[in-house]
Amino acid sequence: MRLIVSLLIVACVASAQSVEYSVLKEDVLQERLRLAHPMNAERYSRLKTLFADSGCKDGFFREQPVKGSKEPNLICTVTGVGENPRRIIVGAHFDAIGGDGVIDNWSGAVLLPGLFEFLSRGQRRHDFEFIGFTAEEKGLLGSRAYLKSIPKQERSRIAAVIVLDSLGLTPTKCWVHGSTQALVNAAANMAAALQVDIKGVNVERIGTTDSAPFKEAGIPVLVLHSVTQETLPVINGSKDVWSAVSWKDYYDTYRLVSALLASLDQTLP
């Protein structure tokens, strides 16, 4: 038996759609976020433990070796119902190259176990895969290896890829140019329903993230982050520590992602 330390919430969105979603209590998530560590091997180990503690083990869990990385991708699966369920991928890289790597990108990776735990309860229309990508900082090695492992004829089964990168500096931001418009609209509608802030901030002039291989392959993607011109100096440097986190903004982003995934499961074909 695993202990569910979460809150169950119902959001009412456009067209009178009711979405039931769950989030970890704030003290639990804070404890997990504080587990950020500067060494990638330790980050991998801690994320794997959090997945196991959230019920992702045995048949739900697998590791995918990645050429050029000592650490593998970590993949947790929730199986949907129906004859031919499509797949929703939620990904965040766990490697870091500056400070304690709290913002970039433990902030995204540490949400994956809780999201898996929530989506694994009850029946889902879609398959879900929650992926801790390795070696993003080395050139998106983990996400490229994952996509390469999927035969081209099966890629049409991927309904959406949600990438979480560098959360918690400010209210939720969306990389509009790097995302699919329908998913941007879905995120904006959910943010309005939850009464949380979301704005578009494009980042292609300063970098990229694990969404890029999927977008290049024509797969629908949504990138959520929190970076602005003012907060950019925190990334990949000594300032990337716990004190950089704006907790309310981070927790609001977490609520938004949880509710959005529940909604996408209901609405995506």
**Domain 6-267, classified CATH 3.40.630.10, yes or no:** yes
pLDDT of residue 1: 27
Nearest to 218 by CA among 263, 135, 156: 156
pLDDT of residue 10: 54
Nearest to 203 by CA among 68, 104, 94: 104
| Torsion of Cα atoms, 2 then 28 then 47 then 130, to 10° | 70
Residue 88 in contact with residue 261, Cβ under 8 Å? yes
Residue 25 in contact with residue 6, Cβ under 8 Å? yes
Residue 112 in contact with residue 130, Cβ under 8 Å? yes
pLDDT of residue 40: 98
Divide the 269 residues of the chain into consecutive groups of 10 and give the mean pLDDT of each group: 44 64 95 98 98 94 98 97 89 96 98 97 94 98 98 95 98 97 97 95 91 98 96 95 98 97 94
State both tokens at 23: 């989030």
Boundaries of every domain in the chain = 6-267
pLDDT of residue 43: 98
Question: Hey, CA dihedral for 93, 135, 88, 51, is it positive or negative?
Answer: negative
Alpha-carbon distances of 77 from 32, 47, 60, rounded to whole Å: 21, 15, 5
**HEC letters along the chain:** CCCCCEEEEEEEEHHHEEEEEEEECHHHHHHHHCCCCCCHHHHHHHHHHHHHHCCCCHHHEEEECCCCCCCCEEEEEECCCCCCCCEEEEEEECCCCCCCCHHHHHHHHCHHHHHHHHHCCCCCCCEEEEEEECCCCCCCHHHHHHHHCCCHHHHHHEEEEEEECCCCCCCEEECCCCCCHHHHHHHHHHHHHHCCCEEECCCCCCCCCCCHHHHHCCCCEEEEECCCCCCHHHCCCCCCCHHHCCHHHHHHHHHHHHHHHHHHHHHCC
47/76 Cα distance (integer angstroms): 11
State both tokens at 222: 């949504």
pLDDT of residue 2: 31
The pTM of this model reads 0.94
pLDDT of residue 11: 54
